[in-house]
Chains A and B, each alone.
Chain A
Amino acid sequence: MTTAVVTGLGVAAPNGLGHERFWSATLRGESGIGPVRRFDASRYPSRLAGEVPEFDPDEHLPKRLIPQTDRMTQLALAAADWALTDAGVQPGTYDTEQMGVSTAGASGGLEFGQRELDNLWGKGPQHVSVYMSFAWFYAVNSGQISIRHAMRGPAGVFVGDQAGGLDAVAQARRNIRKGLRLVMSGGADSSLCPYGWVSRMSGTQLSTRDDPNRAYLPFDVDAHGHVPGEGGAILVVEDADSARSRGARAYGEIAGYGASFDAAPRHGGQPGLRRAAEVALADAGLEPADIGVVFADGSGSTEQDGVEAATITSVFGAGAVPVTVPKTMTGRMNSGGAPVDLACALLALRDGVIPPTINVRTVDPAYEIDLVTGTPRRWKPKAALVLARGTGGFNSAMVLRAAG
Chain B
Amino acid sequence: MRQITLHRLQSIMRECAGENEDAQPLADAANRTFEELGYDSLALLETQSRIHREFGVALPDEAVVTSSTPQAIVDHVNGLVNAR
A201 at the interface (CB under 8 A from B): no
Q: Distance in Å from the Cβ of A134 to the closest Cβ of chain B?
A: 9
Interface residues on A, range: 10 to 19
Looking at A1-9, A63-71, A321-329, A377-385, the stretch in contact with chain B turns out to be: A63-71
Instruction: Name the CB-closest residue of A to B17.
Output: A67
Instruction: Name the CB-closest residue of A to B42.
Output: A130
B18 at the interface (CB under 8 A from A): yes
Instruction: Name the CB-closest residue of A to B23.
Output: A63
B45 at the interface (CB under 8 A from A): yes
CA distance A129 to B43 in the complex (A): 10
Q: Is the interface of B mostly helix, strand, loop or mixed?
A: helix
Q: Is the CB of B18 within 8 A of A67?
A: yes
Instruction: Name the CB-closest residue of B to A134.
Output: B42
How many residues of B are counted as interface, with CB atoms below 8 angstroms from the partner's CB atoms? 18
B28 at the interface (CB under 8 A from A): no
CA distance A63 to B15 in the complex (A): 10
Q: A63-B23, A64-B38, A126-B52 are in contact. Are A131 and B18 (CB under 8 A)?
A: no
Most buried by B among A62, A64, A67: A64
Instruction: Name the CB-closest residue of B to A129.
Output: B46
Residue in A65, A126, A127, A133 whose CB lies within 8 Å of B42: A133
List, in ascending order, chain A residues with CB within 8 A of B46's CB. Answer: 67, 129-131
6 pairs of A and B residues whose beta carbons are closest in the complex: A64-B18, A63-B19, A130-B46, A63-B18, A130-B45, A67-B18
**What are 12 A-B pairs at a CB distance below 8 A?**
A62-B18, A63-B18, A64-B19, A64-B38, A65-B18, A66-B18, A67-B16, A67-B18, A68-B18, A126-B53, A130-B42, A131-B42
| Residues of A near any B CB (own CB < 8 A) | 62-68, 126-127, 129-131, 133
